[in-house]
Structure 1
Amino acid sequence: MKAVSLIRLGEKEEKLKERLPNIEFVFTSGVDEIADQDKKDLDILFGVGKLTEDFLEECPNLKWIAWYATGVEKLPLDYLQRRNIILTNNKGAHEVQMSEFIIGYILADYKNMRTSFKNQINRHYNSRLTGKNLKGQSIMFLGTGSIAQRTAQLAKAFGVRIIGVNTTGKQVDNFDETYNMEEVEQVIGYADIVINTLPQTTKTTHLLSKRHFELMKDTALFINVGRGSVVKNEVIIEVLQNKIIRHAYLDVFENEPLSQDSKFYDIDNISITAHISGNNTEYSDEVTDIFIDNLKSFLNKDGTIENEVDISKGY
């Protein structure tokens, strides 16, 4: 069996070879480096890269794509479904890093760290600057997957109320209450902090309209670490420019990267990070370990592959 990488993994390449000596591994830096014979022979693709239908047509034996990212919206999902190609992602590998980022965003906002930094730059010493307690606040998560669950677990220590919104309204550990997607407008006004962790699908694209932000508290903090496509650029820009909500921490945008002349840079009640909330030094180790476990299950045909994507749903 042949497994071809779409990224180089450094010392982890030897780890894969040692742990799985019966697999023929071919390591590349992307589809352009994959030899024609390897395309014909490969059974597994792993990593991340630009995968098109035309390329996949050249891989007649492909059975499984182990995607080293969470979002799969850029893959030709309909094509994968027609060919019954298994698709797994890295769900869970980001939950520690991203939950820490979210808590960091919240604390930085509630403790006025941005203002303190501006004061430092301006050589202004203001000992009257006063932060706000998290205790007693309400946090609403749009999406109750692994990232939201981990963050909810951490946030509970601060004495906050946790509200979740998911597809069915099913109850989730560490959430005080949950609602389904159709109830968003009825409950979004309860939250002091609204956090989007949803993946990009046909149902979540442009899910949030100006009306949703108008229904939020005018003191609300909005955090987006899911996908920028959940709200149109022009909508979130208008919302922030008109102070419909108090502030936003945005790690993702509808179009990335932001251009230097992006209007987002001119808004004063926004804090921007450059799609970095999932970046961490341990990431490739964690994802490779998941891949190794899945590969063993795949070879044994025991049906216990972790993080298999429901292609019909897109996550």
Structure 2
Amino acid sequence: MSVSRKKGIDYWLPKLVVSPTLVIALVFFYGFVLWTTFISFTNSSFLPSYDFVGFDQYVRLFMNPRWLNAMWNLVVFGVLFIGICMVVGLVMAILLDQNIRAEGAIRTIYLYPMALSFIVTGTVWKWLLNPTVGIEKFVISLGWDSFIFDWIIDPDMAIYTVVIAGVWQASGFVMAIFLAGLRGIDTSIIKAAQLDGANLFAVYTRIIIPSMRPVFFSAFIMLAHIAIKSFDLVIALTGGGPGNSTDVPAIFMYQFSFQRGQLGIGAASAVIMLMTVLAILVPYLYSELRTPKNG
């Protein structure tokens, strides 16, 4: 085999191996994103239609009370889910960073929920929060007859049960991210601060945590992405109920697109969800990929 032919094989073989994955990604991800965006500007109902109606579907979407309710639920769930996961994950990471005994076992216990799917998590917590068989019944059986914990059937409190289940699953993952960030801090800086008389609390609050800003941003991006796509957890836990009290945009999009025959509105809601993700992701990518200016 000639040298030039060998170089040609070495050049083209990796591209041939990667090309099927590239084609699949282009067609089944970016292609369908473009198709969904186009459908959102048409009067599609049960089947796709190619009659262009401009922004009519978006106007109808934002005049729909159920969509506004779903967006509000997403705000409530997202703020609480992200905030509590960040706090709990940070606290757990700081505790494990103290080189405690059985750290490996404790870390495994914290991380175990993330190995489960959100369907499993939702199903388990649906049983635990059921007033007739779960936590409420157990506490009453211990003699506390006046105990009531019926959030899952209370329209005003049901969204918070989704927060509980989500935090239980995702906080261990956040802990792992923060722990990796803590272990990457230069120990000489910490020792220097301790020699200057700084206590452990001051070291963490004034030196370590501020230096972990990129880690916090990465954790925020991942949690926000999970929150926006919160479909399987809500479906398994509450089904969007009672009524529409735990409805979220992902459920709205699925039901209007595939159950109610309003494909145009469903596509418009999917585009809004995509724009929400991009609004979070693009600033992160910009901050990570921008090259520092010289001089």
TM-score (norm 1): 0.23
TM-score (norm 2): 0.24
Select the structure that is richer in helix: 2
Select the structure that is richer in strand: 1
